[in-house]
A = this chain, B = another copy of it.
């Protein structure tokens, strides 16, 4: 059986698109790109050999030859444009995190479900085999009863004019970095029963640094840290009564990674396929 490739449109010309363009698989074809500026859309389409530039997001959504859109807009615009894309009958891959408003999340996933459309948050790290392997190890009892999940993600942000520093576009360390830690903690721990947080505010009003604590069913607890003030750090640990699984590059395994399983005195580098 031959299936036609999924025809993807890029909603915005954000820098992060480059990673999607570079990694696009055979079953996906990037057919269109939209910018609020027509000239910019044309230049971008030319540079990246994308067939159809659109001078507005609306025009891209009206394009009948687009099956799905990648919403790479700033956090604060995710919901509006995802809802419009779903209303136009498009599947949506939306940058993480979808929204800071739980009601918006419910509304969007309900709309996708009602329309028979796929809506996914671009937590790409979840699709790497090291995470699948980690979840399997924890569920198979390799570390005994799970007790703690620890994670960190820091990236030094020196440009205080960066979009991630803007409060009206839902910037901040929790939204940009900590969301990975929250996501992975929930992947392993389930739905939290209680959360605590401490933030260091930037002058712009967003959290520059964020420390989180989560309590899960079965006496599992999680701690995480997300800093714009610190040089790059990333780590994920699942710690149980008999051992621990440690990932030294959970969020960007494409930079090189190691999965370690420690039990008593034994330390094993886990083979990840």
Contact = CB atoms under 8 A, between A and B. Distances in A.
Interface string A64-90: 000000000000000000000000000
Interface in A185-212: 194, 196, 198, 200, 208-209, 211
A213 interface: yes
A37 B147 CA distance: 41
In which size bucket is the chain A interface? 20 to 34
Given A196-B196, A198-B215, A264 B147 contact: no
A26 interface: no
Interface in A204-240: 208-209, 211, 213, 215, 219, 221, 223, 225, 227, 229-231, 233, 239-240
27 contacts: A147-B209, A147-B227, A148-B209, A148-B225, A148-B227, A148-B230, A150-B225, A156-B241, A194-B198, A196-B196, A196-B198, A196-B213, A198-B213, A198-B215, A198-B221, A200-B219, A200-B221, A208-B219, A211-B221, A211-B223, A213-B213, A213-B223, A219-B229, A223-B223, A230-B240, A231-B242, A231-B243
Interface of A: 147-148, 150, 156, 194, 196, 198, 200, 208-209, 211, 213, 215, 219, 221, 223, 225, 227, 229-231, 233, 239-243, 264
